[in-house]
A and B are shown apart, each in its own frame.
Chain A
Amino acid sequence: MNLKRERLQVIYDILRVIQEKNGRIKPTHILYKANLSSQMFNEYLTDLITKEFIVEHQEKKGKTYSLTQKGFDYLSKYKFILEFVDSFGLNYEEER
């Protein structure tokens, strides 16, 4: 149960880590803070880039990531998103 909430929470955690670092952050740092396996982390990262929550920057020392406006909006509306998902039963998944 609560798979949706977990997913929303993971996205929130990743975005929060980037925000706390005032913009640009290295992937290893996000991986460490988000507490995910590297495979899961890569999936989330790709997903977040595709959905335009974060942008990837190619620098001399390697890749860094920063938040987009959509990413900031997600962080500020996170609590409301959770409340809405809970209120309309969107987080409930029946056992098969």
Chain B
Amino acid sequence: MTRQLKLCAAIGLTAILTATPLLAGKPLSEPIKPIPATVDVDPKKVSLGRMLFHDVRLSKGETVSCASCHDLTHGGVDGVQVSTGIDGKQGHINSPTVYNTGFLFRLFWDGRAESLEDQVDGPIQNPIEMGSLWPDVVAKLYEDTKYPKMFNDAFGGGINRQNIKLALAEFQRSLITPNSRFDQYLLGDANAITAQEKTGYENFKKYGCISCHQGAAVGGNMFQLFGVANSYFQNRGNITKADMGRFNVTGNVLDKHTFKVPSLRLAALTAPYLHDGNAPTLRAAVDIMFKFQLGREAPDEDKDAIVAFIKTLAGEHPEMKK
């Protein structure tokens, strides 16, 4: 025991010594980690990816781009319950943000994509999202005057689905939102958040939200059953295929209604909430979580404090300010 204490002390001392003296205080060791200030990406691939992200030629009929549903100036989402794809078709699920996706362990609500690269196949080929065939996209991009050269510069090769995916993924990896008030707090600035927000964070831990929403993305590192305490879906009714969650991927009955825990990082900007977009406000989402995940109630002021805390998680990215 003494030995362990010594070890802890040593680690703590090292942490203090390595802390940059510019900071007001020492960094906190919390289950939530700050988002790094920079991320190592290839600028050529990123700028190519940015162009592709905004290019409607990725969709059949050339009406929607990635940015149509993932508006970078609006938290990387479209702010509606379900998105509208080609030919005005309505999607089946709420569009998650594209910010901080580099921190997620899987992509899509059901986690069917293991990497950002794999994820690209989904919206491009989904008949109600972009409805494209890959070779069609490639053919269209070959007609462009700039793309062939940009692809060659970035990859030393031609336009193909693999390179398109790589560029889009690299661009998304560049979409990080560091320097949130909560991260400043984590890094040692005790005054970066208010007393209520601090209380909110304590509540967040006390009630157990932290057991699923944790890490740099405050979520996105595990699957969880939606409706642990009470059946959300029976309560809501009209169960769709999308509601089956991870079951659609594995076919395992134990995976029914299991979803990737969403990141709360930009929750302040990405209403409505949940995979079905059923919670119009952050407070409504918190209520649902209490009822169906925690199976308990809490005083309004506790919930309000949690909402106030969640709002401190949103950091900055140049694209958000445009």
Q: Is the pairing of A and B real?
A: no
- B-contacting residues of A (Cβ < 8 Å)? none
